[in-house]
Amino acid sequence: MNVVMLGHVDHGKTSITKSLSGVWTDTHSEELKRGITIKMGYADINIYKCGSCKGAEAYGVSEICESCGFECELVRKLSLLDAPGHETLMTTAISASSITDGAILVIAANEPCPQPQTAEHLNVLEILDVENIIVIQNKVDIVGIEKAKENYNQIKEFLKGTKAEKAPIIPMVANQGINTDVLLQTIYENIPVPKRDVDADLRMYVARSFDVNKPGSDIQKIKGAIIGGSIIQGQIKEGQEIEIAPGIIIDKKKGEFETIKTKVQGIRSGDTLLSEAGPGGLLALSTLLDPSLAKSDGLVGQIVGVPGTLPKAVKKLKMKYKLISRLLEDDSNLSLQLNEPIVLSVGTAITVGIITTMKKDLIEVALKRPIVVEKKSKVAISKRAGNRWKLSGYGIIE
């Protein structure tokens, strides 16, 4: 299954991911330079349980129990998505949230709660109906006991009336790995594996795409594009033909796209090669596509399916919309206006549109870039506020 890590910038999301998986997910050069997550990172985690230990001590990420040395049982496999906390990168966070089965909201104890992106990310979880939420109070080692208690009370007040009101709150020191075992136990006990529809038509959201070839590679050894994402329904097999929509642009002036077809050369989940895969967790598909198509996440937002089964890409969306209530004073006046540009995030697709019609709670939007959507899908709506895009509300596609 997929669990997304959300929270304000520099509150410790990437450090918690590393404490669980041993993987530092900020690998993009700009991320290392600036010390923040820009693109969605992810790490695969196996949760093991020791049969002889009790409580949180029984949970770890190793086949051998660190407490007693006994062999452990593998009880859960999950992909942890590390989403950006920085305010200008909210659309990536929304993409990560849209393919999740549960969420971890990270709040640092050394800053007042809520910080702007803490509030914004909780709004995203509300919009997308994410029910299974765990809250981490990180960095408790750099504040005193009284300050930690005060921050805890702020967190409780902040969560009141939301889907996370009854969420467990775990104090952590991520850099030292303190309470990692408690977090693993809480994930196992509080985020159940959802029911999956493996017999439905294949739907896979593309969340990352790569060109893995090094400059100057021998032309005979060049590998096809790599597509990373999560299957929402159905199954995929090695050697299977797939269709990717909306595909590649064929007429820039008219904004026309054409779907692309290819074959799955290989399926990988973390370090494991698979012959077939179903919903849940993140997968990487190696394909026969020109690798230049996948360079710099060029295929993000696309949908993968069996040829002939995908909905047609649309250039207009009609939706019922609702503005979200804001928790912070400066988050006012985010109502939508006729003819204004907005950013729409649905699944892992992000596109800009212009509001062409408004009637009560109904809007029609002309899209700059066509997307593939299913009816009744939820769409996160952001509008320009000052010099940035700000989450304003959500829509349900008619």
The residue among 138, 169, 190 that closes a domain is 190
Q: Is residue 82 part of a domain?
A: yes
pLDDT (tens, 9 = 90+) of the chain, 398 residues, equals 888 888 887 777 878 888 887 654 444 333 333 333 334 566 788 899 999 999 999 999 889 998 898 999 999 988 887 765 444 444 555 555 567 789 999 999 999 998 888 888 888 788 778 889 999 999 999 998 999 999 999 999 999 999 999 999 999 998 888 999 999 999 999 999 888 889 999 999 998 898 989 888 898 889 999 998 889 899 999 999 999 999 998 887 777 889 999 999 999 987 789 999 998 888 899 999 999 999 888 998 899 999 999 999 999 999 999 887 655 545 456 788 899 999 888 888 888 999 999 998 899 999 998 999 888 888 888 888 777 777 788 888 98
pLDDT tens per residue, range 110-151: 999 988 888 888 887 887 788 899 999 999 999 989 999 999
CA dist 165 and 126 (Å) reads 11
Give the distance, in angstroms, between the CA of residue 302 and the centroid of all CA atoms in the same chain: 15
pLDDT tens per residue, range 52-96: 999 999 999 889 998 898 999 999 988 887 765 444 444 555 555
Q: Which domain holds residue 253?
A: 203-305
User: Which residue do the tokens 């709660």 mark?
Assistant: 113
Q: Is residue 84 part of a domain?
A: yes
Q: Are residues 298 and 358 in the same domain?
A: no
Question: Residue 389's closest CA among 118, 92, 113, 96?
Answer: 92
Q: Is residue 113 part of a domain?
A: yes
Instruction: Please tell me the number of Cα atoms within 13 Å of 224 on its side-chain side.
Output: 14
Q: Are residues 297 and 323 in the same domain?
A: no
Q: Are residues 295 and 214 in the same domain?
A: yes
CATH code at position 17: 3.40.50.300
Domain count, the chain: 3
Q: Are residues 31 and 132 in the same domain?
A: yes
